[in-house]
Structure 1
Amino acid sequence: MSFTSGGTRWADIGLIAGSRGVSVCGDFLAATTLALVLQQGGHGGLAVSALLLAASVPLALLAPVAGRVADRADSRTVLVCVPLVQAGICVVLAYTSRPAAVVGLVALLACGLAFTQPVLTALLPAMARREDLAKASGLSQTAGNLGMLLAPALAGVLVGQAGTRAPLLIDAASYLALVGAALAVRTRRKGVAGVKVALVPWRLRDDRTLAVMVGALAVVIAGVSAINVVEVFFIRDTLAASTTVFGLVAAAWTAGMLLGNAVFGRVPPHRITVPAVLAVVAGSSAPLLAGAAVTGPYWLIPLWIAGGLCNGGINVFTTVIVARRTPSGAHGRAFAALSAAVQGAGVIGLLAAGPLVEHVGPRLLMAAIGAFGLVVPLAGMPLVRREPPSHPVRGGSPVQRDSVGE
């Protein structure tokens, strides 16, 4: 759980956050564009579902390997080499229209993301002091959320004005921006060339409190992923909302996340505990349960903002908790395990949502998912009420700072 021993390197954090925002915007820009490509080509929902799975499954399957690479390899090497390959894949995607090829290339992009995500997240504790990590995490999450918010609108404009090739080439450029940031950032993990570094022993199941937190979070993520499918039918059919209103409701959750990043990023470190994480996890599900009772779509906007606010708190708090409860030499594996749980749960939620919508009414599904997501984290509270101390530091520090500016 080693944090930086000097002052917080806000310049490095700004570079990482900015590059993450650009990269996330590029990824969502490409995803929206590719969905439009498949739709315009006359391919049905099966092709779009395959596209979504291709973007998610590798993140879960490769997590064990990616986590070990993040803890063993030089962070700069990973953040330069992998995005360069991803940029090349995006260029190929720009000139590809066959569905099978598109899905395969998207899966390759997701493989790269599986390796860069834990490296980027594990760099934050190496850049920030313990008391600044929540704020640093909030800045990083805000940049990513802004990218998510801008991408769909930008994709619509670009596809309409310049065709489908331009957004994919922009996504390629976004990976090059990540390469530039990696070269400019001075903080590095495992940055000793030619030296084999023994991995610090770590397993998620050895920390019962952390395992309960991740498990509860995964269950709720599965439900929220299912809601992404259910809400289309609930808002459009049950509540008879227009496409414009549907877009406003969908954007409200992301807007709430932006607010949550700022609010929870200011919480003092001693208040960021595993029970606090479970509380905001429950808070993100309560609006879903309340939303099942509304009679008009506009009531969902404030509820979705509240849910998104708690979602922002989840993102900030989990980064701090994982960094604090695991040895610094295991941060890559710890964040990869968290990502695997989230991505795997998301895939399960998406797969389960389709058949459920066919047999159960949207309002009942919304209520059931919201209630389940509220009860699970609350049930986990007694298991973590007497929270054991954070994991002790074992092994050497994995952080190397370049001599520049030292």
Structure 2
Amino acid sequence: MKRLFQTSTESVWRHRDLRIAAPARALSILGDEIALVALMLHVHDLGAGARGVMLLLISAAVPTVLLAPLAGSLADRVDSRLLLVTASLLQVVVCVALAFTAPLWGVYLLVMALQAGQAVVNPTWQALVPRIVGEAELGQAMGATQALSTLAAVAGAPLGGLLSGLGGQRLPLLVDAGTFLALVAAALLVRTRRAGRHDAALRTADRPRALDGLRVIRADRLLWPIFVALFAYIVVGEATNVVEVFLIRDHLHGTSVQYGLVGAVTTAGIVVGSLLAGRIRRTPRRVVVVVVGAAVQSLALLLAGLVPSVLALAVVYSTLGVANGALNTSTGTLVFTRVPDAVRGRVGAALNGGSRACSIVALALGGLAGSELGAAPSFVLFGSLALVVVGWLALRVLPLRDVAPPEPAESTAPAERAPVGAANGS
């Protein structure tokens, strides 16, 4: 019997450019989490209350949504090195300005400027990774980078609180500026480049249009239902984030230490799930993992509203974490191995923008459900709705798990035939 998780005799870390890019990206995520905690504390100290925090979170999410078409077009047309260096340097300037800005309106505007840079940088890196490692090892690379990013994000929260205590708003934001400088250095050191005048393959493609990313996904019979289900799933799944603290502290009477323990086991699960899913080599198996991962995570959300203790919740959440890591890694690998190279930036931007838009809706929905139903019933409700979404997804995609991706349009065919990983210095 063939194994679902296959091993490779060679490590994905043998690629020089991945060894540079992945830690730099994780360091930047660490800096962003540090900055977010510092800014939330700053907004609290100014007396803005829950409304001020909500506006801060919205300011951080809106640019990714609104700029998705432009960001994807830039990622597919402009030299990746030039784009990454320019955007990261601008983010350094914005972080320094944030460190010395006190008024709330200034904070909100600068946060939007910072995230506008992220809206461009993220799809550029996403489209560059397949060039670095090649499509055969993309799953392993995505699993490894997601594991690193998850660990960085979790470490950012306590570090943000510690640095804020030591230096107020200024110190953590200057640290974040330093992480963007590290990204500048990484972009200059990475030899693999994509788009721009030197990239003959992408230069032959047509000029990007605003909704190209969605058009490409819509044309793929397998990816389109995954996209639709993913966005619906984010709305109902992330809504539980709003009431999670109330479930643990108020409903289950957990301590702050126990709250941290639940977060720690979830993180460990995500890392394990990401690394395991990264070892899957075939599309049909990835499709199965997407459906099973979503089903397990949905069931875990439902059970979270029924458990009698924090210890039982920790067991449920550790399973949820494994499922979440496997789901995200498999979904990302499916998307970027099935779309033509010429449009990967636009597809990545569409995925990022749609996900952030759904997250905004989830915040509002979770707040409403928490105030009207309470924490535990909200988990049962959202877990049940998530299972409905997964049931629809299973019916749509499992019969199509062997379907080939659509033929690329004539304008993108040269990019599709371009050698992957060329000039990557591996």
TM-score by length of 2: 0.88
Q: How many angstroms does 1:254 deviate by?
A: 2.1
- Tell me if the contact between 2:123 and 2:346 (Cα under 8 Å) persists in the aligned partners: yes
Distance 1:30 1:126 in 2: 31
The answer to whether the aligner puts 1:212 opposite 2:225 as a matched pair is: yes
Partner deviation per Cα, 1:231-270 (whole Å, 9 max, x = no partner): 1211111111122212222333222111111111122234
Q: CA deviation at 1:389?
A: 0.6
Aligned positions, number: 400
Q: Which one of the candidate residues 301, 309, 317 is aligned to 1:288? A: 301
Partner of 1:255: 268
Distance 2:375 2:296 in 1: 21
Equivalent in the alignment of 1:150: 155
State the secondary structure of the residue aligned to 1:335.
Answer: helix
Which AA in structure 2 matches 1:377?
V
SS in 2 for 1:389: coil
Cα pair distance change 1:13/1:361, threshold 3 Å: same
Native 8 Å contact 1:199 1:330 kept in 2: no
Q: Secondary structure at the match of 1:295?
A: coil
Structure 2 partner of 1:29: 34
- Mapped contact 2:93–2:177 kept (Cα < 8 A): yes
Task: Classify 1:405/1:160 alpha carbon distance in 2 versus 1 (closer, same or farther; 3 Å).
Answer: closer
- Residue of structure 1 in register with 2:281 after alignment: 268
Corresponding position of 1:391: 406
* Cα distance in structure 1, aligned partners of 2:399 and 2:199: 44
Q: Deviation per CA, 1:8-44, whole angstroms, max 9, x where unpaired?
A: 7611112111111000000010001100111122220
Cα deviation 1:327-363 (Å, max 9, x = unaligned): 1101111111111221111110002222222111211
Q: Distance in 2 between matches of 1:185 and 1:15?
A: 7
* Residue number among 239, 246, 250 corresponding to 2:252 in the alignment: 239
Aligned-partner Cα distance in 2 for 1:25–1:95: 21
Letter in 2 for 1:15: I
Deviation at residue 99 of structure 1 after TM alignment? 1.4
Please name the residue that 1:19 is paired with: 24
Compared CA separation, residues 147 and 194, structure 1 to 2 (3 A)? closer
How does the TM-score come out when normalised to structure 1?
0.93
Q: Which runs of 5+ in 2 are unaligned?
A: 1-10
Which AA in structure 2 matches 1:395?
A
Could you tell which deviates more after superposition, 202-211 or 396-405?
396-405
8 Å contact kept, 1:260–1:313: yes
Distance 1:87 1:145 in 2: 23
Give the counterpart letter for 2:245 in structure 1. Answer: V
Amino acid at match of 1:383: R
Q: CA 1:191/1:96 → structure 2, altered by over 3 Å: closer, same or farther?
A: same
**1:193 deviation in Å?**
5.4
Q: Which residue of 2 aligns with 1:185?
A: 190
1:253 touches 1:307 (CA, 8 Å); kept in 2?
Answer: yes
Equivalent residues of 2:22, 2:145 under 8 A apart: yes
Question: Which stretch shifts more, 203-212 or 171-180?
Answer: 203-212
Q: 8 Å contact 1:187–1:402 — kept in the other structure? A: yes
Q: Would the aligned equivalents of 2:38 and 2:168 in 1 still touch at CA under 8 Å?
A: no
Q: Which amino acid aligns with 1:39?
A: H
Structure 2 CA distance for aligned equivalents of residues 20 and 357 of structure 1: 34
Q: 1:93 maps to which residue?
A: 98
* Aligned equivalents of 1:193, 1:41: Cα separation in 2: 50
Q: What is the aligned counterpart of 1:38 among 43, 46, 64?
A: 43
After superposition, where does 1:26-175 map in structure 2 within 5 Å? Answer: 26-175=31-180
Write the deviation string for residues 178-202 of structure 1: whole angstroms up to 9, x where unpaired: 1111111111111425986524766
Contact 2:132 2:424 (C-alpha < 8 Å) held by counterparts:
no
| Partner residue in 2 for 1:277 | 290
Structure 1 gaps of 5+ residues are 1-6
For 1:131, the aligned partner's letter is: A
Q: Is the 8 A contact 1:89 1:109 kept in 2?
A: yes
Residues 276/392 of structure 1: CA separation in 2 closer, same or farther (3 Å cut): farther
Residues of 2 paired with 1:401 and 1:274: CA distance? 25
Instruction: Identify if the C-alpha distance between structure 1 residues 280 and 165 changes in structure 2 by more than 3 Å, giving closer, same or farther.
Output: same
TM-superposed CA distance for 1:317, in Å, is 0.9
Larger mean CA deviation between 206-215 and 84-93 belongs to 206-215
Distance (whole Å) between structure 1 residues aligned to residue 128 and residue 420 of structure 2: 11
> C-alpha deviations, 1:43-68, integer Å up to 9, x for none?
20000011111111211221111111
- Whole-angstrom CA distance in 1 between matches of 2:289 and 2:351: 17
Q: Does 1:227 align with 2:240?
A: yes
RMSD: 2.2
Quick one: percent identity of the two aligned structures?
34
The one-letter code matched in structure 1 to 2:97 is V
| Equivalent AA in structure 1 for residue 131 of structure 2 | A
Given residue 328 of structure 1, which amino acid in structure 2 is its aligned partner? Answer: D
Q: Equivalences for 1:357-376 in 2 at 5 Å? A: 357-376=370-389
CA deviations 1:264-322 (Å, max 9, x no partner) are 11222345433431221222221111111111112111211111111111221122111
Distance across 1 between alignment mates of 2:120 and 2:283 = 31
Match of 1:4 in 2: none
Shift of 1:111: 0.8
